[in-house]
Structure 1
Amino acid sequence: MSEFTQPPQSPQPQQPYAPAQQPGVRPARNGLGIAALVLGIIGAVSGLIPLLFWLAGILGVIGLILGLSGRGRAKRGEATNKGVATFGAVLGLVSLVLAVVGAVITFKAVGDAVDEINKTVSDTTASAKPKPGSDTKNGGVGKDGKKDTDKALGAGDSAVYDDDLTVTVGDATTYAPGEYAIGHAKGNKAYRVTVVIENAGKEKFDATLVDVAARAGEDGVEAEQIFDDKVGKGFSGTVLPGKKVTVEFAFDAPADAKKLTVEVNPGFTYDATQWDLKL
């Protein structure tokens, strides 16, 4: 009897070795420390620029909180970058310090600028000076010997500013507008006014900022400025120390108006002054 032989078995393919994963092991959670470091660096750099104190303060607070949280994770074994988190927290604290310093510097600079503007404004407040021989009923020096700037000046009176700029407004005289004049209404009367600006100070004066306006009658109705080939160009250029410039203006007023109030404002840092002119 022949022996029964089994066919040869094919070898089984070997499976690759996979180490058994240890239960309870989690990947390191280093995100807070890294974020603290990045925010701390940006905050510290921003703090070097005083105007960015607000950004340095915000990033400093966030960086400090994240850095301390990252250190807590590292102590609990949840993170492996304790040093990075610590450095981020330190940079966050540095950012806060720089933010405080920047805020102090910025607010001081703004305060100084405001004080300088206020000083400039106060240095150019007008003091009325009536023309020689005129009375003081419309302005100038009152009976108590003090300067009175709350009342309108009269024709020919001058407003003298503390920087030695003098503005003088002359009488209102009737004016015949040109054929193509702008600003003159039919039935109204036109009046011409001469405005003189003299610069007795030490600095040149920018005349382009001078504004001249007028109101007519007791009700103070706006008097339209007239523009033609003779009047209406206004002031331009600069007035050098020791020089003066004269410009003629014309205004349109109701026929029954008895008074023309002219207001001259030499510029943003000057007080406007008014003149009451009889028509």
Structure 2
Amino acid sequence: MTVPTPSDGRQPGDRIPDDHDPWRPPPPGTTPPPRWESYPMAPLPAPQARNGMGITALVLGIVGLVLGLLIILFWMSWLPALLAVIFGSVGMSQARRGRATNKGMALAGVILGVVGLLAAAGGAVLTVTAVKKVTDDARAKVKEVKASASASEKARHLSFGEPYTFENGLKVTVAEPKPYTPDDYVLGHAKGNKAVQVIVKVLNTGTERVKVDTGLPEVSDADGASAELLIDGSGRQKVITGYVLPGKEAIGKYAFSLPPDAADKIEVEFSPDAMEWQDAYWSGPTTG
């Protein structure tokens, strides 16, 4: 290995003189020792700001608020509003640590998110209230209809001698049934049965003539069975047909045959037009 020769001309291994000055410049003609030059260090790049949370919070807050203000879409607003609060809080935390520069944007996202949550809650309350009101109104309407139907049904059940006026202006009254003695020539009357006569009066209380399309009543005995219409040759029976003039009265006379064990009470069902008006009912005991 070769040892380099010192710059002052000494040989390796020579003794250093006592008066040697290391800071003295080298004698002329000698090569100066190498010098190390220092270079300025390049500045470290500044860390990039993390503003994504604040931007996201602001966007979600706007979306949540807009959806919250639209009543029909309130159920969609709570999620973006909640995320706006969360992301905005994270963005503000990063801004306090110097990692973000949009603290105001993050704060705006939090505020909008809170307002969006309140709007969603208000929309939910409003919707529940509206649905409850509609439900209550519907229930009240059903009760009203049932009550009206019940009242109407009750009004159509009468005792013999009571009048009932149909909507076409015809006031109908069924008189109390009386015993009826048929002629020798008779149809629809079994031996041993009891015959009764039913008289129906129809008065036109309106200002126009009204046609009676259903002139025959239906009679049920005490057991609820249909009584048979009795026909004989006496000419005492009369069927209501045609029109009833204003202020005029039409009278129908009919005879029915009842079994002896169910002849103490009957029900008469009658309507001037069974296709349009519901029947009215007259009931009570039979005389004789």
TM superposition score normalised by structure 1: 0.45
Task: Give 1 or 2: higher strand fraction.
Answer: 1
